[in-house]
Structure 1
Amino acid sequence: MSRDPALTTTSYAILGLLAVRPWSTYELAKQMDRGVGRIWPRAQSKIYEEPKKLVRHGLAEATKEAVGRRPRTVYSITPEGRRAMARWLQVPGSGPVLECEQLLKVFFADSGTTADTLATLRAARAWAEERNTENVAAARAYVAGQGPFQQRAAQTLLVGRFLTDYYRLVAEWADWATAIARQWPDNPADAVPSQSEMAEALRLASWTSES
């Protein structure tokens, strides 16, 4: 039995890509950047060690190839790797973990200036727009039947819709927060919350009790 550390979610992210097709480490890194990295960014920092771990666990195999004069290693999934992937999918995963430096800066806005907060909110809006530009391009490709791995469009649709809603949420929240922060005094510590907005926040938060 392998003495390597237990497989992590990142391990299975790599294994899932290998279940689609064989990849070189360079190709895996590109795919992480354009696809899986949008929903599991931690995988990007592990891209060079995880495939080797999968090989040691017997879940993947490495083949040496040559591209011109340059050697490369291509990883592919093994039958045991496919069985491991299937077992992993049988167990529901954990929920999202929110990590947003911009949101943290807004949370502590009273230690800075209103101008600082407005700049952060502009950056949040710009981030959402930039990410959604890639999202729109991908959606158009799939609708035209030319998306990467078009045969997986049914699965990609579910994740793509989540990302679409998420980017839109960030953009709409940034617009809403900006409209409020513009009414603050220069020192956010002196800002007074709007009672109507607080009531609306409560109404929105009560969606679980409405069903």
Structure 2
Amino acid sequence: MSSAPAVTTTSYAILGLLAVRSWSTYELTQQMNRSLGRMWPRAQSKLYEEPKKLVALGLATATTEQVGRRPRTVYAISPAGSAALARWLEEPGEGPVLEFEQLVKLAFAENGTRADALRTVAAARAWAVRANVGNLVAAREYAVGEGPYQHRAAQGMLAGAFFTDFYAMVARWADWATEQIESWPEEPAEAVADPAALAEILDKARWSGDDPLVGSAG
């Protein structure tokens, strides 16, 4: 006997969208990419299968509508789906997982050239600038009351604030990393860490006030 399909974070994300309104599969996929793609990127093929799974689990309903001569399936959240979504929201969830190829490359920079490392950091900064273009457009729309689903701006701005700070942080880090790498010798393997920079990192790492070594002496 086959087991029931697992309800995943993607399942609940789609339930959350269905709680906003009913969607066709195509609309769900577009909205998932637009509103959640930065925080929960998933392959489009997976998103097309997810609503069917929710229907099979009784968490959503499916109805067929006629659009011109073509039928389309529209999905809506069911009472059981609303209850499941509410239960999921009661749990705090897991923290972020960072996947940053350029940072991995820099971790082994001694095996390449200084120019390689500088190009990698420049690409990271360029990514932050590109990513912030759409973010800035959205921020302007919501700030003047013209964003998509403006009535949900209180919820959406939480993620908006996170990504605004995140893109700016990557750009600031890239500027700092560029200065560090430019001070390296031609062979990165011969680079020596700047003691002042290490001390600054330590000072910043104490931002939470939870340093186990502070006050332990004596």
TM-score range with shorter-chain normalisation?
A: over 0.9
Number of the residue aligned with 2:100: 100
Separation in 1 of the partners of 2:43 and 2:91? 20
Matched, 1:47 2:47: yes
CA contact (8 A) 1:13 1:43 kept: no
Number of the residue aligned with 1:16: 16
Cα offset, 1:149, TM superposition: 0.6
Query: What is the CA deviation profile of residues 109-164 of structure 1, one whole-angstrom value per residue up to 9, with x for unaligned ones?
Result: 11211111111111111111111111111111111111111110111111110111
Separation in 2 of the partners of 1:137 and 1:162? 16
Cα offset, 1:45, TM superposition: 5.2
Number of the residue aligned with 1:171: 171
Matched, 1:63 2:80: no
Separation in 1 of the partners of 2:81 and 2:54? 8
Separation in 1 of the partners of 2:57 and 2:152? 27
Separation in 2 of the partners of 1:151 and 1:81? 22
Q: Which is greater in Rg? A: 2
SS at match of 1:184: coil
Report the TM-score, using the length of structure 1 for normalisation: 0.94
SS at match of 2:71: strand
Separation in 2 of the partners of 1:184 and 1:63? 63
Matched, 1:31 2:37: no
Number of the residue aligned with 1:196: 196
Number of the residue aligned with 2:215: none
The unaligned stretches of length 5 or more in structure 1 are: none
Matched, 1:186 2:183: no
Query: What is the CA deviation profile of residues 85-122 of structure 1, one whole-angstrom value per residue up to 9, with x for unaligned ones?
Result: 01100011111111111111111111211111111111
Cα offset, 1:43, TM superposition: 6.2
SS at match of 1:106: helix
Number of the residue aligned with 2:157: 157
Cα offset, 1:82, TM superposition: 0.7
Identical aligned residues as a percent: 62
Separation in 1 of the partners of 2:210 and 2:86? 36
Separation in 2 of the partners of 1:141 and 1:26? 24
Report the TM-score, using the length of structure 2 for normalisation: 0.91
Cα offset, 1:210, TM superposition: 6.5
How many pairs are equivalent? 210
